[in-house]
Copies of this chain bind each other. A is one copy, B any other.
Amino acid sequence: MRKSVNADAPTKDEKIFAEAVRIFRAKGYHATSMQNIADAVGLQKGSLYHYIATKEELLFKIFERSTGALSKQLEEIIASKNSPAAKLRLAIAAHLTALCEQLDIYSVYLSERRALTGRYHTKVRAEGERHAVLLEKILRQGIDHKDFRPMDTKMVALAILGMCNWLYQWYAPQGRLAPNEIAGIFSDIVIDGLTRRRK
Contact = CB atoms under 8 A, between A and B. Distances in A.
A192 interface: yes
Contacts of A8: none
Nearest to A162: B166
Most buried by B among A28, A111, A167, A182: A28
Binding site secondary structure of chain A? helix
Interface stretch (A37-45, A63-71, A183-191): A183-191
Could you say which interface size class chain A belongs to? 35 or more
Contacts of A31: 28, 30-31
Interface stretch (A10-18, A48-56, A72-80, A148-156): A148-156
A161 interface: yes
Contacts of A182: 155
A115 B28 contact: yes
A166 B161 contact: yes
Interface of A: 27-31, 111, 115, 151-152, 155-156, 158-167, 169-170, 177, 182, 185-186, 188-195
